[in-house]
């Protein structure tokens, strides 16, 4: 059984834009990181028999394509239309250890026998984040085009740049229809002279899901930032929103269907789901998955919302916290729950005037956090407060959070 030792495959070894086209692809799936597995030989694409196909093999495919983690090994027949009967099956009995960077490095059999397209292999990977962005425009769907390679962002020379290329950029970013190919110089400030120009002569047919799939030249010559490419897409309206929170990037999750907004049940809701919501809304990193939007803690009477006397909420009423056992680990949790910066101190709540009214209740004492909790309510605490007065109210000092606007 001969192996593919005579084939020369120019695989990508990193997560950035490909320096040579991969010799594996996933087709007919919902995005480029899921579908029926195909490999290339001498310009021809063939399928992979699923004999011996497993998660370790899928891990290598996902890595080679610059996708996320391997999620499954579905049958290739799930992805319609099915492979044409005339299409060849190139390999079978693939045996990867899961650490290879390219499928060509894995043991496999080239002399395929007793296998049909009903046994085509499939792979499911996490969809990779876009490797393209539009900067300095009025919104995320318009601006100067930049592409990512090995963690560095560079511009695109506008040689050959046209509407088909913009259509792909708009699709990859989840924006609306392509509207124009403006000069990147319209978007100020201009690209720094030290920033590299990564690609030129892009040639998309307009149907690709990602710019990385288009023909392109990476040896850029005779091009300057005065020729940077730009793109205008219709600004897409998010189908998700966060409501009743302190700002647009925090709150109760609602989704839109046929013009009507509804909520999302929190069964199985986790940080991965929150990450997608934050990305769709153009917010920053996901910070938590609270079951109710507003925090159950606040800092009052301080110079900003990230410093002051600590108050907690119970049944719509706000009460203070006795400072018995109150320490920096407890403050760390308060700062995290409020979306503030690092914990800086545990001042007396009496520093913040006016003092708590004598009629205001003291809700908890003897708080004992490990410092890793997301909310103060998750920490051990005593709710039957005794022998404590407002002269012992707890305070917290965090780094001032970034303004919401």
pLDDT in tens, 376-388: 988 999 888 888 9
CA dist 399 and 305 (Å) reads 10
Distances (CA, A) of 177 to 233, 295, 353, 395: 6, 39, 55, 52
Q: Which residues of 74-84 are buried (b: 16+ CB within 10 A; e: fewer)?
A: bebeebeebbe
Please report which confidence band the pLDDT of residue 403 belongs to, taking 50, 70 and 90 as the band edges.
very low
Per-residue pLDDT of 213-255, as tens digits, reads: 899 988 888 899 999 999 999 876 667 888 777 677 888 898 8
pLDDT of 256 reads: 79
pLDDT of 238 reads: 66
Rounding to the nearest 10 degrees, give the CA dihedral for residues 392, 367, 354, 293: -170
Q: Which residue has the higher pLDDT, 372 or 91?
A: 91
pLDDT of 259 reads: 67
By CB atoms closer than 10 A (0-12, 13-18, 19+), residue 55 is middle
**Percent of the chain residues past pLDDT 70, beyond the cut:** 90
**Maximal C-alpha separation, the chain:** 86
Please report which confidence band the pLDDT of residue 30 belongs to, taking 50, 70 and 90 as the band edges.
confident
CA 371 centroid distance within chain: 26
pLDDT of 19 reads: 38
Per-residue pLDDT of 311-366, as tens digits, reads: 999 888 999 999 999 999 999 999 988 888 899 999 998 899 999 998 999 999 99
pLDDT of 17 reads: 35
Q: Token match 């011996």: residue?
A: 52
Beta strands in 88-196 (DSSP E): 89-95, 107-109, 122-125, 132-136, 142-149, 152-156, 178-180
CA dist 194 and 255 (Å) reads 42
Fold classification of 132-233 (topology level): Mac-2 Binding Protein (3.10.250)
What's the rounded mean pLDDT across residues 82-97?
94
CA dist 365 and 392 (Å) reads 10
Q: Which residue has the higher pLDDT, 291 or 195?
A: 195
CA dist 74 and 97 (Å) reads 19
Per-residue pLDDT of 1-12, as tens digits, reads: 333 333 333 333
* Rounded CA Rg of the chain: 28
Token pair listed for 186: 């319209």
What's the rounded mean pLDDT across residues 177-182?
94
CA dist 64 and 85 (Å) reads 27
Please report which confidence band the pLDDT of residue 294 belongs to, taking 50, 70 and 90 as the band edges.
low
pLDDT of 1 reads: 37
Q: Which residue has the higher pLDDT, 285 or 160?
A: 160
96-110, 183-197, 390-404: least confident range: 390-404
**Percent of the chain residues past pLDDT 90, beyond the cut:** 52
What's the rounded mean pLDDT across residues 128-147?
88
Checking if the pLDDT of 155 tops 90, the result is yes
- CATH class in words for 4-125: alpha beta
| Average predicted confidence (pLDDT) for the chain | 86
The superfamily in CATH containing domain 240-280 is SRCR-like domain (3.10.250.10)
Q: Which CATH architecture has domain 297-398?
A: Roll (3.10)
pLDDT of 291 reads: 61
**Which ranges of 93-182 does DSSP label H, i.e. alpha helix?**
163-172
CB atoms inside a 10 Å sphere around CB 65: 23
pTM for the full predicted model = 0.43
CA dist 254 and 291 (Å) reads 13
Prior bond to 130 cis, omega within 30? no
What's the rounded mean pLDDT across residues 23-51?
92
The boundaries of every CATH 3.10.250.10 domain in the chain are 4-125, 132-233, 240-280, 297-398
Report the alpha-carbon angle 251-257-258, nearest 5.
140
């Amino acid at each position: 059984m001969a192996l593919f030792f005579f084939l020369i495959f120019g695989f990508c070894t990193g997560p950035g834009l490909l320096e040579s086209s991969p010799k594996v692809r996933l087709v007919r799936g919902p995005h480029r990181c899921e579908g029926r597995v195909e490999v290339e030989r001498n310009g021809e694409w063939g399928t992979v028999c699923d004999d011996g196909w497993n998660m370790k093999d899928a891990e290598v495919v996902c890595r080679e394509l610059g996708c996320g983690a391997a999620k499954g090994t579905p049958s290739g027949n799930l992805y319609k239309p099915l492979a044409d009967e005339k299409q060849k099956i190139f390999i079978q009995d693939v045996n990867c250890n899961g650490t290879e960077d390219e499928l060509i490095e894995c043991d496999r059999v080239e002399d395929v026998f007793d296998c049909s397209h009903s046994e085509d292999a499939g792979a499911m990977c996490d969809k990779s984040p876009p490797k393209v962005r539009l900067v300095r425009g009025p919104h995320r769907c318009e601006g100067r085009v930049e592409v990512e390679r090995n963690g560095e962002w560079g511009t695109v020379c506008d040689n050959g740049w046209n509407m088909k290329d913009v259509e792909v950029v708009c699709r990859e970013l989840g924006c609306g229809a392509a509207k124009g190919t403006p000069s990147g110089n319209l978007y100020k400030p201009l690209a720094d002279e030290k920033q590299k120009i990564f690609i030129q002569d892009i040639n998309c047919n307009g149907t690709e899901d990602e710019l990385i799939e288009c023909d392109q030249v990476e040896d850029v010559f005779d091009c300057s930032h005065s020729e940077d490419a730009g793109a205008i897409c219709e600004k897409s309206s998010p189908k998700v929103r966060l409501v009743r929170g302190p700002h647009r990037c925090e709150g109760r999750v609602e989704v839109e269907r046929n013009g009507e907004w509804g909520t999302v049940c929190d069964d199985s809701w986790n940080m991965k789901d929150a990450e997608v919501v934050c990305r769709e809304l153009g917010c920053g990193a996901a910070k938590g998955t609270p079951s109710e939007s507003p925090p159950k803690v606040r800092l009052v009477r301080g110079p900003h919302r990230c410093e002051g006397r600590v108050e907690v909420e119970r049944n719509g009423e706000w009460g203070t916290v006795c400072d018995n056992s109150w320490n920096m680990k407890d403050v760390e949790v308060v700062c995290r729950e409020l979306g503030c910066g690092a914990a800086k101190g545990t001042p007396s709540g009496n520093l913040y005037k006016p003092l708590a009214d004598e009629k205001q209740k003291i809700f908890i004492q003897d708080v004992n956090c490990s410092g890793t909790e997301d909310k103060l309510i998750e920490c051990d605490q005593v709710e039957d407060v005794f022998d404590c007065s407002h002269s012992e109210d707890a305070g917290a000092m965090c780094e001032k959070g970034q303004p919401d606007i």
